[in-house]
Amino acid sequence: MSEHFISIDEVKTHAYALGFQGCGASKAEPLNMERFYEWTKKNYNASMSYLNNYNDKRADVKKLVPNAKTVFSFFISYNMNNNRNEGKYKIASYALGYDYHKVIKIKLHKLVNTIQERHPDFEARVFVDSAPVMEKIWAQKAGLGWIGKNSCFINRTFGSKIFLGEIICNFTSDYANESKDHCGKCNKCINSCPNKAILPNRTIDSNKCISYHTIENKGNIPETIRLDNYIYGCDICLENCIWNKKAKIVCTEEFLQRKEITCLLSKAEEDSLEKSDFNKAKKHSALSRIKFEKLKSNIQSCNNNQNLIK
């Protein structure tokens, strides 16, 4: 029996119709994990010990999806004009709209269903930043862009305000050439990080990163960590990336700032934030990764370290 095949153009046509701006394919083969292992060995993953689990699946997608032939990578931009609250406290722009995990999973499942109408033997699993899938490495192999010095994934046209997702399937396809790196001699992200969390060898030390401390750190945030009024995530190195200055502006309705988030930020500024405000904001939001108590503690930490802000 001949091998099942789907052309990348067919997948792209359906993906673009669903709102994706990038789509590429790479052969499902084992990955070189040396850099990742080195990163965790040096404890740059801080308390995120779960990143030591499932390394067998991370290194070889066939251990995750046994009949895997191809990893399709997709991206969708959230680089929108005026999509930022100008008040005192800040939330990373990726978390201002609806939860990207849900939005993209729904789109990828629709895509699989559409493909299956023409190719009934197409078997696939979809992933969005959830299982041990090295999504940035796969996207680079699929020719969609490269992993910048700040560890964000960057596309030459859309910059790095993009969400990635994958379909791992039993069909072969047209495989792209791996993208080249276009950071060059730029060091803008490294110089912009208020805590010097971006090390010269393209490594993020999570122990110093605002994003880690405001989301993942279950303990107290050290007083020496500058938060620059971020109460969830951090956009500083992203905003300073030269590729985001010239990135194409999009309007992806699902990722526009929700009114519940605007309300949460205003109430936080007025010091009248209630759990009910948080519960409304976290519904269908990436904010649901933290509890109300953590958000309150982040706000307190921001207030405590005002003297660290230039």
| Residue 302 binds ligand SF4 (CB under 6 A) | no
Q: Pick the binder of ligand SF4 from 107, 149, 258, 282 (CB under 6 A).
A: 149
Asked if 197 touches ligand SF4 (CB under 6 A), the answer is: yes
Q: Which of 51, 176, 242, 256 binds ligand SF4 (CB under 6 A)?
A: 242
CB-wise, 167 or 236, nearer to ligand SF4? 236
- 148 makes contact with ligand SF4 (CB under 6 A): yes
Closest CA to 189 of 154, 236, 157: 236
How many degrees, rounded to 5, is the angle at CA 16 between CA 25 and CA 97?
105
150 lies in the binding site for ligand SF4 (CB under 6 A): yes
Among 104, 142, 167, 209, binds ligand SF4 (CB under 6 A): 209
CB of 48 to ligand SF4, least distance (A): 14
Residues 6+ apart with CB under 8 A from 60: 30, 31
Report the Cα 91 to chain-centroid distance in Å. 14
Cα–Cα dist 153/142, whole Å: 12
Stretch that binds ligand SF4, among 3-11, 37-45, 131-139, 239-247 (CB under 6 A): 239-247
Cβ neighbours of residue 280 closer than 8 Å, sequence gap 6 or more: 260, 263, 264
Are the C-beta atoms of residues 26 and 135 closer than 8 Å to each other? no
Residue 172 DSSP one-character state: B
Q: Is residue 204 a contact point for ligand SF4 (CB under 6 A)?
A: yes
Candidate residues 94, 243, 255, 278; the one interacting with ligand SF4 per rule CB under 6 A: 243
C-alpha 187 chain-centroid distance:
21
**CA end-to-end span of the chain, whole Å?**
67
129 is catalytic: yes
Q: Are 164 and 225 in contact (CB under 8 A)?
A: no
Q: Which stretch binds ligand SF4 (CB under 6 A): 70-78, 133-141, 238-246, 276-284?
A: 238-246
- Using rule CB under 6 A, residue 183 touches ligand SF4: yes
Q: Given the rule CB under 6 A, which residues bind ligand SF4?
A: 148-150, 183, 186-189, 193, 195, 197-198, 204, 209-211, 234, 236-237, 240-243
As annotated, the active-site residues are 129
